[in-house]
Amino acid sequence: MLVLDNFEQVLAAATLVADLTTVVPALGILVTSRAPLHVRGEREYPLSALALGPESETLPPEVHGRSPAVQLFVDRLRDVQSDFQLTASNASIVAAICRKLDSLPLALELAAPWIKVLTLDGLLKKLERDVLLSSTSARDLPERQQTMNATVAWSYQLLDEAGRPAFRRFGALPGLFPIDAAAEVLAGRERASDESLDAFEAVAALMDKSLLSRSESSVVTTCPLYYMLETVRAYAGVELAAARERDDAMEGLVRYCTAEAALAADGLIGPTQLEWLDRVREDLDSYRAGLGWLIERGRAAEASDIAWALLFFWLIRGHATEGLRWYEQILNLPSLPSAAAARARLGAAAMLHTHGAFDQARAHLTAAIDIVHQSDDAEVIPQAAWMFGHIEYAAGNLLAARDWFTQSRAGFRALPSVWGAGSASNGLAWVALASGHGDEADRLVNEATVALRSAGPWFLALGLYVRVVLTLQQGNPDAAAALMRQSLTRVRESQDKFGIVYGLVALAAAAALKGDDAWVARILGARDAIRERAGSSLIDPMLRELGERTERESRSRLGPDRWAHAYAEGRKASIDSMLEDIDRAIGRPYRWNKCLCDRVVITEGNSAHGLGGFMTFAKYVFTGAGVWGIVVLTPLFWLVDVTGRHYPSPTEYPHFFYGFLSVAMAWQIAFLFIGSNPLRFRWLMIPSIIEKLGYVSMLLIFYSRGRIPAIDAQPAWPDMLLGILFIVAFVKTRA
């Protein structure tokens, strides 16, 4: 066995190595090098960075401590601070430092000595400013390994004249990037050729030198993604600035971002919405770099185009705070074109709406509409009206919200914009629901669903929440939970951080209806954790009141200690665990909770009423009918002799009499089943109505023909009343 170390310094001698293997076939040669030898018989074994656990602030220290990167860094920290311990308070910071240093052993060793003069927090902040920080390294290390800057510089100097410019230019690409972005950055101010052969060659050469890596996954499987380690990219950025090429490279990056954002604007409201959400996430670092550079140079129109195209990404993926920051920075630029100003204001209003800042959102929308009316931007006007509708609805102004949504729907239809018209119908459905018009809300949701089938799952989910609330009003928590299961499945696909907050409130109400207060606490814990991470607020007044009422009642029943324990569990819950909870809960017996069934409404005067009251009415009617029937019929089982002796005609066939009583008693039990859940057993209402009215009809017919005395016809009147009440209950509990 022959071992050759650091062979990248003498790559020209690679043919000699090949000759050795030919002359001495039994000889094995182990070569370490930053570049392959490219000889026959060579097998490459890339050495990756040390493994690091998932990025999470809630993982216990023992989980972080099992990762090789953290273990090495902690060992090196103890070399300079012998009493250092990994604890719950510092484990996530240690993991973040390892991640910032790409888990590279040399980088970890060079960073550890800084703990003598900095805290862990201070070291992390310093790395965020300069990942190539210098340090006092071990004197027995080669000079090229005494700082990360020297280590990467050594590799840079080994590149040829064609490789160095490409290495520098790729320093302008933060995070993951596809070959198209690489080609644009290499081209700079000149548009890249379609074939991008230079980019492929440059990428291949840098990968050969271990200065560029290929990502293991990509949303578009036919389009691989590449990345530089943070330490390598930082050095490339230094060389890019020194060569005065940064502006030229950034022009190429901006051109790539502008083209991709235009495609994303369509993709985010189409059938490929899920794919485009992930594609934008993959390119997010590039978008951030491009937006920052454009704003630095006062190029407001281009920055506005990119930020506006990503509007639904900011909303869906919980980046509303970031989106608002970009829109506000654009609005602060001088000489802002009218079209750019209108869209930036509309985007800012949308982000402020998620934060519950309604007054600020109204101000932006009012200004946007004034600008748009001057420029006659037909696309922005209905979107502004749509957003105004959401803001007025959230503020409790239902009449104003209805007017804005109606105006928005008309504008979208005139464009035409199918997704816009469907979204406006969804808004009108929420207004109808809050006004107590369940039938109208259901009709509007159906209309919206048809229009939004091709707009992406996120838009459909917003309408699905209306159905969940309608089902809760009808007193059927199992059906509501089943609908939420469908919604959570879509949330898992889209990684929605906005609409899910609303859905989880409705799911908590369903859990309360089933009497599972611990489940309520877990759901609300998950809701609050998602809301805090996304920086959003629960702005729907109807659902906010429902959530507060549900939490208040469940907390009082469960007690502070059990509530706190279940709530903490919920804060750590995943979508999968919530789906499992729903699967276990559906079909399980539950107790009726009248307070939660009577829906929370926002009223304009006293005209609003809801289906929850009719569900209560149906429960009382059928439960009362069943109890009344059992009380009346039960004694008759022991009175057959008296009944048969005194009532003409005498009972000659007692088994017929007992058969009649048994069938009648079975109907009373059926009434009790209907009363326990009018929605689930609503199908039994029709035969119940037929039973009551049929019995009444026969009694009246027999009495009119003199076949029974008046005393036997008297049960017709209470049963006729019950039959009429059954009909009312059936009609009014329709979804």
Residue by residue, DSSP assigns 264-324 as HHHHTTSTTHHHHHHHHHHTHHHHHHHHHHHHHTT-HHHHHHHHHHTHHHHHHTT-HHHHH
Write down the pLDDT at residue 167: 93
What average pLDDT does the segment 506-515 reach?
88
Tokens of 247: 């502006």
| Per-residue tokens: 633 | 């019929």
* Rounded mean pLDDT, 628-655: 67
Instruction: Flag whether pLDDT at 610 surpasses 60.
Output: no
Contacts of 1 (CB under 8 A, 6+ apart): 27, 28, 29, 30
Hey, what are 665's tokens? 């008693």
Asked whether residue 348 carries a pLDDT value surpassing 60, the answer given is: yes
Of 264, 263, 266, 347, the residue nearest 300 (C-alpha): 347
**Does residue 647 register a pLDDT over 60?**
no
Rounded (10°) angle between helices 273-282 and 477-494: 40
Banded pLDDT at 197 (limits 50, 70, 90) = low
**CA–CA gap between residue 422 and residue 450 (Å, rounded):** 8
Distances (CA, A) of 90 to 65, 102, 567: 11, 19, 25
Q: Which of 215-229, 442-456, 575-589, 639-653 has the lowest mean pLDDT?
A: 639-653
**495 Cβ neighbours under 8 A, 6+ residues apart:** 277, 316, 317
Contacts of 183 (CB under 8 A, 6+ apart): 192, 193, 196, 198, 199
Looking at every residue in the chain, the average pLDDT score rounds to: 84
| pLDDT score recorded for residue 220 | 73
Segment 101-127 mean pLDDT: 85
Which amino acid type is present at position 327?
A: Y
179-199: average pLDDT? 81
Residue 110, token pair as written in the block: 């060079």
pLDDT of amino acid 612: 45
Does the pLDDT at position 176 exceed 60? Answer: yes
Q: Tell me how far apart the alpha carbons of residues 100 and 229 are, in angstroms, rounded to a whole number.
A: 9
Q: How far apart are CA 336 and CA 348, in angstroms?
A: 15
φ, ψ (nearest 5 deg) of residue 485: -65, -45
H/E element holding 227?
strand 225-227
Mean pLDDT of 237-263: 95
pLDDT at position 286 is: 96
Higher-confidence residue: 535 or 386?
386
Position 576 confidence tier, pLDDT thresholds 50, 70, 90: confident
Q: With contact defined as beta carbons under 8 Å apart, do 268 and 304 qualify?
A: no
Q: Is the peptide bond before 560 cis (omega within 30 degrees of 0)?
A: no
**Residue 594 has what pLDDT?**
45
Mean pLDDT across 352-379: 86
Torsion of CA 636, 642, 648, 653, to 10 degrees: 70
- Among the ranges given (46-60, 277-291, 720-734), the one the predictor scored with the smallest mean pLDDT: 46-60
pLDDT at residue 328 greater than cutoff 90: yes
Burial of 726 (0-12, 13-18, 19+ CB in 10 A): buried
Q: Is the pLDDT of residue 393 over 60?
A: yes
Q: Which residue's entry shows tokens 């059990």?
A: 562
Give Cα separations from 606 to 546, 601, 610, 621, 648 (angstroms): 19, 11, 12, 25, 56
Q: Which residues of 118-130 are buried (b: 16+ CB within 10 A; e: fewer)?
A: eebeebbebbeee
More confident residue, 63 or 425: 425
Least confident interval from 209-223, 484-498, 642-656, 676-690? 642-656
The pLDDT value given to residue 545: 85
29 bridge partner residues: 2
Q: What is the pLDDT of residue 226?
A: 94
d(CA 369, CA 363): 10
Q: What is the DSSP letter of 104?
A: -
Residue-level pLDDT at 595: 45
Please state, as a whole number, how many other Cβ atoms lie within 10 Å of the Cβ of residue 298.
11
pLDDT at residue 263 greater than cutoff 50: yes
* Residue 624, burial from CB neighbour count under 10 angstroms (0-12, 13-18, 19+): middle
Global pTM exceeds 0.75: no
At residue 645, does pLDDT exceed 60? no
Edge-to-edge strands of the sheet including 177-178? 177-178, 225-227, 213-214
Neighbouring CB atoms inside 10 A of 661's CB total 15
pLDDT at 15: 87
Query: Sign of the CA dihedral 276, 481, 434, 354?
Result: negative
CA–CA distance, 627 with 617 (Å, rounded to integer)? 15
145: closest CA among 87, 104, 199? 104
Bond into 417 cis (ω within 30): no
- The pLDDT value given to residue 708: 74
Average pLDDT, integer, range 361-369: 93
- What would the two tokens of residue 157 be? 């100097």
- Report yes or no: 544 and 538 within 8 Å, Cβ to Cβ: yes
Does position 598 have pLDDT exceeding 50, yes or no? no
pLDDT value at residue 617: 80
User: What DSSP element (H or E) covers 151?
Assistant: helix 148-157
pLDDT bracket for residue 653 (50, 70, 90): low
Q: Is the pLDDT of residue 214 over 60?
A: yes
Residue with tokens 């009108």: 428
- The answer to whether 440 and 433 are in contact (CB under 8 A) is no
Residue 318: burial class (beta carbons within 10 Å; 0-12, 13-18, 19+): buried
Give the separation between CA 362 and CA 146, rounded to whole angstroms. Answer: 57
DSSP letter for 229, please.
Answer: -
- Which pair of structure tokens corresponds to residue 602? 């926002």
Q: Which letter, b or e, does each residue of 684-705 get, where b requires 16 or more Cβ atoms within 10 Å of its Cβ?
A: bbeebbebbbebbeebeeebee
Would you say residue 361 has pLDDT above 80? yes
Smallest CA-to-CA distance from 111 within 280, 262, 231 is with: 231
Look at residue 609 in the predicted model and tell me its pLDDT. 33
pLDDT in tens, 422-435: 999 999 999 998 88
* Percent of the residues in the chain that have a pLDDT greater than 90, as a whole number: 35
pLDDT on residue 533: 79
Mean pLDDT in residue range 77-103 = 88
What are the angstrom distances between the C-alpha of 735 and each of 295, 437, 443, 504?
52, 11, 10, 21
